[in-house]
């Protein structure tokens, strides 16, 4: 068990951040899944800006790596380009 007040606070902060990061990462994965499940190009194009905004925010907060965000945005754009 922690011996200092600061260590106890660190444990509380780490747990709340872990839960918050898990929530936002899961939300991002669901948004990607929804986009990739779309067959309508207009609908997918409408979803893309929100997804890109979400990925940029998560990368800024270091929930995901910035290169992973770039790869996911690029993959989403390629997916939309392939839609007829």
Homologous superfamily in CATH for domain 5-82: Ribosomal protein S20 (1.20.58.110)
Distance CA 7, CA 24 (A): 26
Distance CA 55, CA 70 (A): 8
Q: What is the pTM of this model?
A: 0.84
Give pLDDT tens digits for 1-45.
778 999 999 999 999 999 999 999 999 999 999 999 999 999 999
**CB-side exposure of 36: number of CA atoms within 13 Å?**
12
Calculate the dihedral angle through the C-alpha atoms of 35, 37, 42, 47, rounding to the nearest 10 degrees: -20
Give pLDDT tens digits for 38-79.
999 999 999 999 999 999 999 999 999 999 999 999 999 999
Give the other-Cβ count within 10 Å of 30's Cβ.
Answer: 10
Q: Is-contact 51 69, C-beta < 8 A?
A: no
């Amino acid at each position: 068990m922690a011996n200092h007040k600061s260590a106890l606070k660190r444990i509380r902060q780490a747990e709340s951040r872990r839960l918050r990061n898990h929530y936002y990462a899961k939300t991002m994965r669901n948004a990607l899944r929804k986009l990739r499940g779309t067959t309508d190009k207009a609908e997918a194009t409408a979803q893309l800006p929100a997804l890109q905004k979400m990925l940029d925010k998560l990368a800024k907060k270091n929930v995901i790596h910035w290169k992973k965000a770039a790869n996911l945005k690029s993959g989403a754009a390629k997916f939309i380009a392939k839609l007829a």
